[in-house]
Chain A
């Protein structure tokens, strides 16, 4: 059994190799309840792989991952989701052939087995919740639009909305503002500040201004290892980090 700790998420000594290449190398990471952690690092540092490991998409070759003091290393993706971990992908990953409403409805955390889905009833409660979330993600007027007709930024919001309706305790966002216009970015930052309340969040982001505006703590990854960890100012002043980012 994992030790009884206050950490929401504990990643301990995790390694993963793809054909001999160690994408993540003996990495440890602890996330507190309600903490917002930003992971930065140059390309190929293993940032996305870390999220893949936590959400069960990739299996660790060594080490242990526990969520709320429960090992989740061997669980399947949907089981990890049911425990309360939500994941947003780098490219907007939504159901293009369904409407905004249907996208959100599917993400509602109930009726997730075959019979539950077959005899699903759209109750008032669910409709109200979907509409509420749609308004939060600025899509209140587009609820019956097919998702494929949304703009890139709107798709990103929709995916954030799908996570929001899942109501995860730990939310992982992979470059949530990538590919957005300046105004979209501002709205998204507002939205993220709203949805990260009362939960722990891991964000991967390149946009330093954005990182500065939200981060509690920053972890810098380099070549699959933690290079530095600390507050934003400490990280920016850290000579090792400067070398990695500017040195070559």
Chain B
């Protein structure tokens, strides 16, 4: 696999370029702002999928709780926007003006201490990355240092997603409860609800996504990336090559979580609210499916998979809302059984060789056919 990865590195760059043209030129020119905003929303899930490529596809750590980190990032952003929208002037009809409306409804009379830092944009932006990374770090250290992995880790992350959802819903005076944090209006006085703002936020989202993709690409192309693959193959051997495996797992888990959090923040900005329904078990599993469909070992595959599945979800659930979940489940089973490397695997294993043959690359094919057979030892 790694050999084909190295070979495919240039193909990957071409893929990045095609995707960039599609996202930055073709879609904005051909879609109205409503649909483009939808694409922007899908792209925020793609951050999670890109993180999962590193964490799951390369290292073999299946996290079924990435919604937690997406949500934490989104909530950190939403808390800042909510405080800005809750100025004394805007909330003078409340019994305590100057605090978010849902706090007032829940008889809170002053801002909880952990909301105070979110009055500042720089602090809020730092928190977007720091809070989820810290959560991932604590969970990662607690699990990986004790060598909890595989299915157990997946279940614990899933439990974490459930716990955070329940916590958010239960403490509605502090979190906005099941409705989430809504009615977000401006970012430093700039109205994020206008079409113009949505265009700009879409492009910011694309830029952040490509930044994250290049970051993950850099990490996976380094020796660290090969160590991650080695950990997936035989974790024990990596220890006996002198590496502290837990540190590498914690690192990649934090990386995936930080990227998911950026996606969450972009979600809040583009969609205009954040709620526990993007934190829990179902969205977390959906994000794994996006990644699996696109190809869990391909950064581009993860983004394309996310876009396609969500596009399909929108089309399909507009006409057959009750069938969508069955279709989604079927899709996941099909991917696992029939093409485990996802769409990206289909492209690199099937489509590219086929194109190679079509374009008269007989020699290439012949060369591939005579690839060194396992040489008998003597």
Contact of B223 among A89, A94, A120, A145 (CB under 8 A): A120
Which of A27-35, A111-119, A211-219, A227-235 has 4 or more CB atoms under 8 Å from chain B? A111-119
Pick the contact of A120: B2, B224, B233, B377 (CB < 8 A): B224
Instruction: Output the nearest chain B residue to A57 by Cβ-Cβ distance.
Output: B236
CA distance A109 to B240 in the complex (A): 11
Q: For residue B3, which residues in chain A have a CB less than 8 angstroms away from its CB?
A: 99, 144-146
Which of B1, B222, B237 makes the CB contact (< 8 A) with A97?
B1
Q: Which residues of A contact B224 (CB under 8 A)?
A: 114, 117-118, 120
Binary CB contact string for chain A from 63 to 98 against chain B (1 if under 8 A, 0 otherwise): 000000000000011100110001101000111111
Q: Which of B93-101, B113-121, B244-252, B300-308 is found at the contact surface with chain A? A: B244-252
Complexed CA–CA distance, A55 and B243 (Å): 14
CB-CB contacts below 8 Å: B232-273 with A: 232-234, 236-245, 247-248, 251
A117-B227, A117-B248 are known contacts. Are A142 and B237 too (CB-CB below 8 A)?
no
- Chain A residue nearest to B229 (CB atoms) is A97
> Contact between B377 and A187 (Cβ–Cβ < 8 Å)?
yes
- B222 to A, closest residue via Cβ: A118
- CB of B248 within 8 A of CB of A106, answer no
Neighbouring A residues of B238 by C-beta, 8 Å: 106
Cβ contacts under 8 Å, B154 to chain A = none
Query: What residues of chain A lie closer than 8 Å to B372, measured between beta carbons?
Result: 142, 145, 149
Contact indicator A95/B219 (Cβ below 8 Å):
no
Q: Please state if A98 and B2 are interface contacts (CB–CB under 8 Å).
A: yes
Contacts of A198 in B (CB 8 A): none
* Closest partner residue, chain B, to A76 (CB atom): B244
Complex: chain A residue closest to B5, CB-CB: A97
Residue in chain B with minimal CB distance to A146:
B3
Give the docked Cα–Cα distance between A149 and B372 (Å).
9
- Cross-chain contact A151 with B239 (CB below 8 angstroms): no
Chain A interface residue bracket vs B: 35 or more
How far, in whole Å, are A94 and B3 apart by their CA atoms in the complex?
16
Query: Cβ of A94: which chain B residues have Cβ within 8 Å of it?
Result: 234, 237
- Chain A positions 179 through 196: 1 when the CB is less than 8 Å from some CB of chain B, otherwise 0: 001011001000000000
Query: Which residues in chain A, 112-169, are within 8 Å of chain B measured between CB atoms?
Result: 112-114, 117-120, 138, 142, 144-146, 149-151, 153-154, 162, 166
Q: Does A26 contact B (CB under 8 A)?
A: no
Chain B min CB distance to A182 (Å): 10
Query: Which of B219, B232, B243, B248 has the most chain A CB within a 10 Å cutoff?
Result: B243
Which of under 10, 10 to 19, 20 to 34, or 35 or more describes the interface residues of B?
Answer: 20 to 34
Q: Determine if A97 and B241 form an interchain contact, defined as CB atoms under 8 angstroms apart.
A: no
Closest partner residue, chain A, to B248 (CB atom): A114
Task: Give Cα A107–Cα B230 distance, bound, in whole angstroms.
Answer: 11
- Specify which chain A residues have a CB less than 8 angstroms from the CB of B313 in the assembled complex: none
Determine whether B226 belongs to the interface, using a CB cutoff of 8 Å to chain A: yes
Do A166 and B241 have beta carbons less than 8 Å apart? yes
**Of A138, A145, A166, which contacts B377 at CB under 8 A?**
A138
Expressed in whole angstroms, the Cα–Cα distance for A57 and B223 within the complex equals 25
Given A95-B229, A106-B230, A117-B248: A81 and B242 within 8 A (CB)? yes
CB distance from A61 to the nearest CB of B (A): 20
A93 vs B237: C-alpha distance when bound (angstroms)? 6
CB B164 to nearest CB in A, in angstroms, measures 27
Tally A-B pairs: CB < 8 A.
116
Instruction: Determine whether the beta carbon of B251 is less than 8 Å from that of A114.
Output: yes
Q: Is B222 within 8 A of A55, CB to CB?
A: no
Instruction: Check if A97 sits within 8 Å of B233, measured CB to CB.
Output: yes
Given contacts A99-B3, A106-B241, contact A119 B222 (CB under 8 A): yes
A205 at the interface (CB under 8 A from B): no
Task: Return the contact of A95 from the options B230, B247, B251, B378 (Cβ within 8 A).
Answer: B230
A119: B residues at CB distance < 8 A: 222
Shortest beta-carbon distance, A77 to chain B, in Å?
4
Report whether B227 and A106 are in contact in the complex, using a CB–CB cutoff of 8 Å: yes
Bound-state CA distance A211–B223 (Å) is 38
Q: Does B376 contact A (CB under 8 A)?
A: yes
A92, B68: Cα distance in complex, Å: 39
B242 touches A112 (CB 8 A): yes
A38-53: CB near B (< 8 Å → 1, else 0) gives 0000000000000000
| Contact assessment for A181 and B377 in the assembled complex, using a CB-CB cutoff below 8 Å | yes
In the bound complex, what is the Cα–Cα distance between A146 and B6 (angstroms)?
A: 12
Chain B stretch 201-229: residues in CB contact (< 8 A) with chain A: 219, 222-224, 226-227, 229
Is A12 part of the binding interface, using a Cβ–Cβ cutoff of 8 Å? no
- B375: interface (CB < 8 Å): yes
* B226→A183 contact, CB < 8 A: no
The answer on a CB contact under 8 Å between B229 and A118 is no
Q: A138-B377, A145-B372, A146-B1 are in contact. Are A113 and B237 (CB under 8 A)?
A: no
Partner of A102, one of B2, B234, B237: B2
B189 at the interface (CB under 8 A from A): no
Q: How far is the CA of A106 from the CA of B232 in the complex (A)?
A: 14
Contact of B222 among A117, A138, A142, A150 (CB under 8 A): A117
- Residues in B lying within 8 Å of A, measured CB to CB: 1-3, 219, 222-224, 226-227, 229-230, 232-234, 236-245, 247-248, 251, 372, 374-378
A residues neighboring B (CB under 8 Å)? 55, 57, 76-78, 81-82, 86-87, 89, 93-99, 102, 105-107, 109, 111-114, 117-120, 138, 142, 144-146, 149-151, 153-154, 162, 166, 181, 183-184, 187
Closest CB pairs A-B (n = 8): A120-B223, A117-B224, A81-B242, A77-B239, A95-B230, A93-B237, A183-B378, A118-B224
A-B contact pairs, 12 of them (CB 8 A): A76-B244, A77-B240, A78-B243, A81-B242, A82-B242, A89-B237, A97-B1, A102-B2, A105-B223, A120-B223, A181-B377, A187-B378
* Contacts beyond the supplied A97-B1, A120-B223: 4 A-B pairs with Cβ under 8 Å: A102-B2, A106-B223, A106-B230, A114-B248
